[in-house]
Structure 1
Amino acid sequence: MRSMNQQTEAVYIHIPFCTNKCFYCDFNSYVLKDQPVMDYLRALDKEMELTVKENPPGRIKSIFVGGGTPTVLKPDEMAYFLQSVKTHFPDWAEDIEFSMEANPGTTDLEKLSVMRAGGVNRISFGVQAFQNSLLTGIGRIHDTDDVYRSLENARSAGFSNISIDLMFGLPNQTVEMLSESVTEALKLGLPHYSIYSLKVEENTLFHTLFQKNQLPLPDEEDELNMYLLLMERMREAGYKQYEISNFAKPGFESRHNMTYWRNEDYYGLGAGAHGYIGRKRHINIKGVTPYIQAAQAGLPRLESYEITHEEAMEDFVMVGLRVLDGISRSRFAQQFDASLDDVFAGPLGRMTQRGLLESTDEGYKLSSKGVLFGNEVFAEFIGSLSAN
C-alpha cells in the first residue's frame, strides 16, 4: 500500500467535447461545434505543467482520457495532446495502461494510428446497445455498423486491449434485447466489458421526461432479470466479474479504475476533472472558456478540500466493496494504522448478519445477494464514523 508521501502514479485527463449530448448524460461535456479546441489543449498543457511542479509524479502506471468524447479531436490535435502528456509525465511504467474513451464513428484509421503512436494502448468504445432503435432512443449518433467498423480500425491500428460499454435498463429495452446485445458483444471476443445500468440523472433530457412520466423504463423486476442474465452470460463465457459493472479476462481488469476503487491517489486534469492527492480532493472549473482563462493564471480550481481521517476510511470501504474480491484488512491497516473490524464493527456486523457481506481470509466482500443490493451496503458506511 502506498504511503502518504509516495508520488502519484495515475492520471485522469478530461476532454469535454462531444459531437452531441446523449439524452442520459450528465457529464461535463459540450457540443464540439465552434469550441476553441486548441486553446483548450494549450490550457490543459499549462495545467499539466503547473500540476507536476506542485506535485511531482512518480512512475506513471495508468493514464485514462475520458470525456466527453476524446476521439472527436482531429489527428493533429490528438498528436499535440499526446505529446503534452508525454512531456509532463515522461516516466512511464513498462506495462503502463494508457486508456482512451471513444465513440464508434469518431475513430478512423488515421486517428487511431496517431493515438497508438502517442502511447495509447487501451481503448474503450461506448457501444451501449446493439439495436439501432435503442441507440436512437438514447441520443447516440452511431449505429451497429459503426461499431464493427471502429473495432476493425482499432485492430488494424495495433490495438488488442479493447473494451466496450453496454447499458441495461434503457427505455423500451427488454430482457431479450439485452440478451441479444450480450450475444453480439461476446462474438467480438474482447478482453473486457463494462455493463452499466441506466441512472436517470438531473439536468438531462431523460430526467425531464421522467418527471413528466414520459420515459418508458423497464420495471424493477425486468431490470433485476437483466442484471442476473448478464452476470450469468459473462460467467459462462469465461469472464470474471471483478467489479459490480465490469467483466474481464484474467489480466485485463482496468488498472486505472482499480486506482479509484482502492482509494489511491490520482491526478485530475481538465475542465470539471476531479483529483485526489495526499488526502486532498479538488474539482476543476467546468466551463471550457472559464477553464482556459483560469489555467492562464494558475491551477484552474473550482474547489479544493481536505479529506478527514474518518472520511478517508469510509471512502476506502465504500469504493473498495465495489470490487468483488472485497476489501483487505491489511491494506486498511497499512493506510490508516487501525483495525478494519474495530473501526467498522457496527456496519460490518449488520451487513454480514443480513447476508449482504461475507467475511473472507483477507477482509470482507459482497455476497451474491449483496452484489444485487450494493447501494444499500455502501449507504451503511456513509457518515457512519462522523455519526458516532
Structure 2
Amino acid sequence: MIQAAYLHIPFCSQICYYCDFNKVFFKGQPVNEYLQAIETEMEQTVVRYPTQKLDTIFVGGGTPTVLEMDQLDFFLNAIHKRLPFTAGEVEFTFEANPNELSREKLQLLKDAGVNRLSFGVQTFDHELLKKIGRTHRRDDVFQIIGIAQDIGFANISVDLMYGLPGQTLPQLRDSLNMAFALNIQHISAYSLIVEPKTVFYNLMRKGKLSLPSQEEEANMYEVIMEEMEKNGYKQYEISNYTRPGFESHHNLTYWSNEEYYGFGAGAHSYVAGMRNANAGPIKKYIDLVEKTGEAYIERHVVTEQEQKEEEMFLGLRKIEGISKQRFMEKFHCPVHEVFHEPIEQEKQKGLLEETETHIRLTHQGKLLGNEVFQAFIGVI
C-alpha cells in the first residue's frame, strides 16, 4: 500500500553551484500551467494506482516556496483535492530557502496543514555561502525560523553540508553550534558530492575547485556525529539526526524500500512494483500530462533480485540496520540465505555487525558506507 507522496516544484530564484536536481529559473516559466499539470497528474495517478491513505507528503525542489501567494494557494488546494490523506494525521513537509519566505507564506502553509519545514541552510559561514551560490545569510535563518516557531511550527529541520570548497573544521563547528542554537527538531548533514551538469563539476574539470581531502572530510563526519550526540540529536540514518520522535517519516519510506508516488517534472516514483522517472523539461512534462495524464519517460519493473538488493543497500543507511524478521516477512527467506557471503565479508572487514535481530553498519562502516552498499549489488 502506497503511503507516501513526493511533489516536485522545479523553480528557483537562484541556482546553487552544487545542485543537480531538476530545476529552472522561476522568471519567465509557465508556472500556472505547470501547477495545473501537476494537479492533473495527481488526479490521474491516484485513479490508476489507488491507495487508502497517505502517511507522509513531501514537497521539494527546486524551491517550492518561490511560488507566489496565489500560486501557492492553488497548489495547496490541489494537494488537498487530489491526494488521500487526513489533515493532522499526515507528516506534511515543505522545503524552503531561509530568505524566500514571509510570515504570510508561512501562515498559508500552516493553515493548509503543512506541519514540517525543511530549510536549506548548508552553512552559516558567509564566505562559504557565497562560494556555493547561496543568497541567504546567517541572520535570515534565525529570523525566519523564529517566525515559523512563533506561528506554531513544531517540527523544523535544517540541511547542512560539509566537505565544501575551502571549508575548515572550525567553520563546520561554528555552523553546528548555530544549528543547535535554533532549538529545532531535526538536522541533516550531507557531504558535498560533485555531480555532473553543475557549476562545481565544471570548475572541478578545470582544476579550479579546491576541496577538503578524504581524511579531512572523514574527520568532519566524525565531528558531526560526536557533536550531534552531545547536543541531544540521535543519529538514525547515515546523514540524519533527530530529537526523539521527529524522524523524517518520508525519508524512512525510501530507506525502508517502500513504494511512493512521485509527481512533477523530473520526479521519480515507485508504484505497482515499477520504478518510474518523469520527463524533466517543463514543457515536455506539461505536454505529456495533458495528453496522457502521466509523464513517465522511463519505467522499470523491479525484479525480486533487485528488491532484495535494494532492501540491503537502502536499509543499511538506517542506523538500526536491516531487520532480519522484516526481510523474512517480505521475501519469505532468511537474509543469510541470500546474502551470507557479503555479510560475512563485510563483518570480517569490521564494517558490519550483527545482533540477534539486525544487521547494521559499524562505526567504521558508516565512514565507508558506499563500499558496504556496493557489496550487495549483483551477488545473487
Do these two structures clear the TM 0.5 threshold for a shared fold by scoring above it?
A: yes
| 1:35 and 2:29 aligned | yes
Q: Which runs of 5+ in 1 are unaligned?
A: 1-6
For residues 182 and 111 of structure 1, the distance between their equivalents in structure 2, rounded to whole angstroms, comes to: 27
Quote the Cα distance in structure 1 between the aligned partners of 2:87 and 2:147.
27
Amino acid at match of 1:134: L
> Partner residue of 1:82?
76
Once the two structures are TM-superposed, the CA of residue 339 in structure 1 deviates from its matched residue by 1.2
Q: Residues 98-121 of structure 1, C-alpha deviation per residue, up to 9 Å, x if partnerless? A: 001101111100011111111110
**8 A Cα contact 2:350 2:364, kept in partner:** yes
Which position in structure 1 is the counterpart of 2:132? 138
**Partner residue in 2 for 1:107:** 101
Decide whether aligned partners of structure 1 residues 219 and 91 sit closer, same or farther in structure 2, where only a CA change above 3 A counts: closer
1:19-98 matched pairs, under 5 angstroms = 19-92=13-86, 94-98=88-92
Could you tell me whether the CA contact under 8 Å between 2:51 and 2:84 is conserved in 1? no
Please name the residue that 1:323 is paired with: 318
TM-score by length of 1: 0.96
SS at match of 1:283: strand
Instruction: Give 3-state SS (helix, strand or coil) of 2:55's partner.
Output: strand
| CA positional deviation for 1:74 | 1.1
Cα distance in 1 between the residues matched to 2:32 and 2:298: 25
1:142 Cα deviation from its structure 2 partner: 0.9
Distance 1:153-1:93 versus aligned 2 partners, 3 A rule:
closer
Q: 2:229 aligns with which of 235, 256, 262?
A: 235
C-alpha distance in structure 2 between counterparts of 1:381 and 1:90, whole Å: 36
Runs of 4 or more off by more than 4 Å in structure 1?
A: none
| TM-score of the two chains, using structure 2 as the length reference | 0.98
Equivalent pairs counted in the alignment come to 379
In the alignment, does 2:340 pair up with 1:340?
no
Match of 1:3 in 2: none
Q: Secondary structure at the match of 1:130?
A: coil
Q: CA deviation at 1:92?
A: 2.4
Deviation, structure 1 residue 21: 0.9
Indicate the percent of aligned positions where both proteins have the same amino acid: 47
Equivalent in the alignment of 1:4 = none
Q: Would you say 1:259 and 2:253 are equivalent positions? A: yes
The answer for the alignment partner of 1:366 in structure 2 is 361
Q: Which amino acid counterpart does residue 162 of structure 2 have in structure 1? A: F
- The one-letter code of the counterpart of 1:379 is Q
Distance in 2 between residues matched to 1:155 and 1:93, nearest whole Å: 20
Check whether the contact 1:61–1:93 (CA below 8 A) recurs between aligned residues: no
Question: What's the C-alpha RMSD, in Å, of the aligned pairs?
Answer: 1.0
Aligned residue type for 1:27:
F
The CA deviation at 1:90 is: 3.4
Cα distance in 1, alignment partners of residues 373 and 156 from structure 2:
30
**How do residues 182-193 of structure 1 correspond to structure 2 at under 5 angstroms?**
182-193=176-187
**Distance across 1 between alignment mates of 2:254 and 2:18:** 23
Equivalent position amino acid for 2:358 in 1:
G
Give the alignment of 1:201-350 within 5 angstroms.
201-298=195-292, 299-350=294-345
Are 1:167 and 2:161 matched, yes or no?
Answer: yes
